[in-house]
């Protein structure tokens, strides 16, 4: 007999509880401050405190390291709900995840115990530094050097566009340890914000995500002890890409949240706005746009949750799903936020309404953690591999 009251394809009720909890905090605390966070720019310390108090700043850290121990799906829902009202604030979560995952994938037990509890307690924010001016999509072309000196490592070089740099207490940094070994010559390290020889650039002036801080990080003879090497020497790129498999799910969730926020804004507005003697929601041309937007948002959600499920169990097809989820959800976010601005008309183009902010915030999700062209390359590679 088939049980008609439940199916594996519906989320268990506990996830509704997670969503309700995150949404309450988002709507009561973060939403009302979102416009100000965007206008003021810079890292929103107040929202970091709010997220920490609510236990939403770093979802998914295992319980043995002081975290909430929730799975990647619950963590994705947390990011989605925060991004729905304030994309900038959700970078606190994604930034932390970019620091936590490499430690879980490649860190020693000692390293995990050293860093994860502080992140779980909201005492330390993390950052992930791989990109360089001349090495964005082509990460293996990085130049930042880490030279062995006795037991220590000495870092020299520049990392660019590093989210949360200057605020983060710990940075996962990728650098070349063996210049002749090509992609096998890159290693991962944990660098402390107060290590000597580290410096920060001015915050980038960005199109969106203004309530997050993005800076260059300079290493000038930055000396760190040998136990900061994360994973094996020469296997840094593996750590980097293995991390992105998981964290692209978060970027997908972030994009999904932005899209949902824009859809909600548009649905509310069109029912209020009167033209030609009736609500613009009464026009079929508007209704069809809404239907398309909602359809896209929901398909992005299905893709992101499917990828999150694969992240939970580290499934072999996670790489494909992570890329697909991030790519689809961010393309949807861009399309839906653009349509939301359209539906709000002239008001949508002004900062008195949130649609234009959402549109500016959506754009980054098509770019970081690998541009969407790179995601398509990743997916195509997986597709063609199996033939």
Partner 1 sequence: MTLRIVVCVKYVPDATGDRHFAEDLTVDRDEADGLLSELDEYAVEQALRVKEAADDAEVTVLTVGPEDAVDALRKALSMGADKGIHVEDEDLHGTDALGTSLVLAKAVEKTGYDLVLCGMASTDGAMGVLPAMLAERLRVPQMTQLSEVAVDGGKVTGRRDSDTAGEQLEASLPAVVAVTDQSGEARYPSFKGIVAAKKKPVEEWDLAELDIDADEVGLEGAYSLVEDAAERPARTAGTIVTDEGEGAEQLAGPGHRGAGRLARCRRRCLACRGGRRLVPAHQPSRPDR
Ligand X SMILES: Cc1cc2nc3c(=O)[nH]c(=O)nc-3n(C[C@H](O)[C@H](O)[C@H](O)COP(=O)(O)OP(=O)(O)OC[C@H]3O[C@@H](n4cnc5c(N)ncnc54)[C@H](O)[C@@H]3O)c2cc1C
What positions carry a catalytic annotation? 369
As a three-state string, the secondary structure of the chain is CCCCCCCCCCCCHHHHHHHHHHHHHHHHHHHHHHHHHHHHCCCCHHHHHHHHHCCCCCCCCCHHHCCCCCCHHHHHHHHHHHHHHCHHHHHHHHHHHHHHHHHHHHCCHHHHHHHHHHHHCCCCCEEEECCECCECCCHHHCCCEEEEECCEEEEEEEEEEEECCCCCCEEEEEEECCHHHHHHHEEEEEEECCCCCEEECCCCCCCCCCCCCEEEEEEEEEEECHHHEECCCCEHHHHHHHHHHHHHHHHHHHHHHHHHHHHHHHHHHHHHCEECCEEHHHCHHHHHHHHHHHHHHHHHHHHHHHHHHHHHCCCCCHHHHHHHHHHHHHHHHHHHHHHHHHHHHHHHCCCCCCHHHHHHHHHHHCCCCCCHHHHHHHHHHHHHHCC
| Cβ atoms 135, 369 nearer than 8 A | no
| Number of residues counted as binding ligand X (CB under 6 A) | 20
Binding of ligand X by 130 (CB under 6 A): yes
Q: Which of residues 146-165 bind ligand X (CB under 6 A)?
A: 161-163
Q: Which is nearer to ligand X, 99 or 348 (CB)?
A: 99
**232, interface contact from partner 1, ligand X, none, CB < 5-8 Å by kind:** none
Shortest distance, position 278 Cβ to ligand X, whole Å: 42
At closest approach, how far in Å is the CB of 165 from ligand X?
8
* Least distance between partner 1 and beta carbon 25 (Å): 5
Q: Which does 53 bind (CB under 5 to 8 A by kind): ligand X, partner 1, none?
A: partner 1
> 189 has which bridge partners?
173, 229
| Cα separation, 346 vs 357, whole angstroms | 14
Instruction: Dig out the tokens for 176 from the structure.
Output: 């070349």
Residue 206 or 223 with smaller CB distance to ligand X: 206
Interface residue with ligand X among 18, 43, 115, 128 (CB under 6 A) is 128
Residues forming a β-bridge with 135: 132
Asked if 370 interacts with ligand X (CB under 6 A), we say yes
Contact characters 347-366, ligand X, x per CB under 6 A: -----------------x--
Could you say whether residue 371 binds ligand X (CB under 6 A)? yes
Partner from ligand X, partner 1, none binding residue 130, C-beta < 5-8 Å depending on class: ligand X
- By the rule CB under 6 A, 302 interacts with ligand X: no
Q: How far is the CB of 16 from partner 1 (least distance, A)?
A: 10
70 binds, among ligand X, partner 1, none (CB under 5 to 8 A by kind): partner 1
CB of 18 to partner 1, least distance (A): 6
121 binds ligand X (CB under 6 A): no
Which lies closer to ligand X via its Cβ, residue 95 or residue 338?
Answer: 95
State the minimum distance, in angstroms, from the CB of residue 298 to partner 1: 22
Among 105, 129, 222, 230, binds ligand X (CB under 6 A): 129
Binding status of residue 321 toward ligand X by CB under 6 A: no
Among ligand X, partner 1, none, residue 59 binds (CB under 5-8 Å by kind): partner 1
Cα dihedral sign, 166-171-174-177: positive
Half-sphere exposure for 23 (CA within 13 Å, toward CB): 10
Q: Interface with partner 1 by CB under 8 A: which residues?
A: 14, 17-18, 21-22, 24-25, 53-56, 59, 63, 67-70, 74, 78
Dig out the tokens for 216 from the structure.
């260059």
125 binds ligand X (CB under 6 A): no
Question: Residue of minimal CB distance from ligand X?
Answer: 136
Which of partner 1, ligand X, none is residue 74 near (CB under 5 to 8 Å by kind)? partner 1
Is residue 140 at the binding interface for ligand X, with CB under 6 A as the rule? no
Question: 91: closest CA among 51, 61, 31, 139?
Answer: 51
Token pair of 365, please? 């999700």
- Which of partner 1, ligand X, none binds 24 (CB below 5-8 Å, type-dependent)? partner 1
For position 131 contacting ligand X by CB under 6 A, the verdict is yes
Q: Catalog residues that contact ligand X under the rule CB under 6 A.
A: 128-131, 136-137, 161-163, 206, 209, 214, 364, 367-371, 373-374
């Amino acid at each position: 007999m088939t049980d008609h009251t439940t199916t594996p394809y519906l989320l268990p009720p506990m996830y509704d509880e997670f969503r309700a909890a995150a949404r309450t905090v988002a709507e009561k605390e973060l939403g009302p401050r979102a416009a100000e966070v965007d206008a003021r720019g810079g890292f929103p310390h107040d929202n970091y405190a709010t997220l920490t108090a609510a236990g939403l700043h770093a979802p998914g850290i295992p319980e043995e390291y002081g975290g909430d121990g929730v799975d990647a799906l619950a963590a994705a829902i947390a990011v989605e709900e925060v991004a729905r009202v304030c994309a900038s604030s959700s970078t606190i979560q994604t930034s932390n995840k970019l620091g936590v995952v490499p430690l879980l994938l490649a860190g020693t037990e000692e390293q995990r115990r050293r860093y994860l509890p502080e992140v779980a307690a909201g005492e330390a924010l993390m950052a992930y530094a791989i990109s360089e001016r001349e090495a964005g999509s082509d990460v293996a072309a990085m130049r930042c050097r880490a030279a062995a000196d006795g037991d220590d490592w000495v870092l020299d070089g520049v990392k660019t566009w590093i989210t949360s740099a200057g605020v983060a207490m710990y940075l996962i940094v990728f650098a070349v340890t063996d210049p002749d070994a090509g992609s096998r010559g890159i290693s991962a390290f944990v660098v402390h914000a107060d290590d000597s020889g580290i410096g920060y650039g001015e915050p980038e002036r960005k199109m969106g995500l203004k309530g997050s801080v993005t800076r260059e990080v300079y290493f000038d003879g930055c000396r760190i002890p040998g136990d900061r090497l994360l994973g094996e020497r020469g296997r840094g790129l593996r750590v980097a890409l293995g991390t992105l498999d998981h964290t692209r799910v978060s970027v997908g969730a972030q994009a999904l949240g932005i899209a949902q926020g824009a859809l909600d804004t548009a649905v509310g507005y069109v029912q209020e706005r009167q033209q030609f003697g009736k609500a613009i929601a009464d026009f079929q041309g508007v209704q069809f746009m809404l239907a398309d937007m909602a359809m896209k948002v929901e398909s992005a959600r299905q893709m992101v949750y499917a990828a999150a499920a694969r992240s939970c169990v580290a499934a072999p097809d996670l790489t494909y799903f992570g890329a697909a989820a991030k790519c689809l959800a961010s393309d949807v976010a861009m399309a839906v936020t653009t349509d939301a601005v359209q539906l709000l008309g002239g008001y949508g183009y002004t900062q008195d309404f949130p649609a234009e902010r959402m549109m500016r915030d959506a754009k980054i999700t098509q770019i970081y953690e690998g541009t969407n062209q790179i995601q398509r390359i990743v997916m195509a590679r997986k597709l063609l591999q199996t033939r």
